[in-house]
Amino acid sequence: MRVRKVCELEDREVRQDEIGKGYELTRTQVIPVSDEELRNLPLPTAKAIEIQGFVPWESIDPIRVGEGYYLQPDGQVAVKPYELLRRALERSSRVAVAKFAWSGRERLGLLRVRENALVLHAMRWPDEIRDPTELYPPAVEVSQAEVDEAVLLIDRMATDRLEGADFVDHYTEALEKVIEAKREEKPLPQVPEPEIQPGKVVDLMAALQESVARAQASRGEDTEANVHKMPPKAAVRKAAKKTPATKATAKKSTAGKATAKKTTGRGPRSA
Domain parsing of the chain, residue ranges? 51-129, 134-158+195-238
CATH classification code of 51-129: 2.40.290.10
The vertex-190 CA angle with 185 and 192, nearest 5°, equals: 165
pLDDT one-digit tens code per residue, 45-95: 556 788 889 999 999 999 999 889 999 888 888 899 999 999 999 999 899
Quickly state the pLDDT bin for 208 (edges 50, 70, 90).
Answer: low
Q: Is the pLDDT of residue 254 over 80?
A: no
φ, ψ for residue 156, nearest 5 deg: -70, -30
Where are the extended beta strands (E) located within the chain?
Answer: 6-7, 12-13, 21-24, 30-33, 50-56, 65-71, 94-102, 105-114, 117-123, 201-203, 236-238, 269-270
3-state secondary structure of 207: helix
For residue 48, which amino acid is it?
Answer: A
Confidence band of 106 (pLDDT split at 50, 70, 90): confident
Query: What pLDDT shows up at residue 154?
Result: 86
The pTM (predicted TM-score) of the whole model is 0.53
232 pLDDT above the threshold of 50? no
Length of the chain: 271
Q: Please name which of 5, 7, 41, 47 lies closest in space to residue 23, comparing C-alpha atoms.
A: 41
Check: CB of residue 163 under 8 Å from CB of residue 218. no
Query: Which residues have C-beta within 8 Å of that of residue 134, sequence separation ≥ 6?
Result: none
CB 194 within 8 A of CB 240: no
Q: Of 113 and 170, which is predicted with more confidence?
A: 113
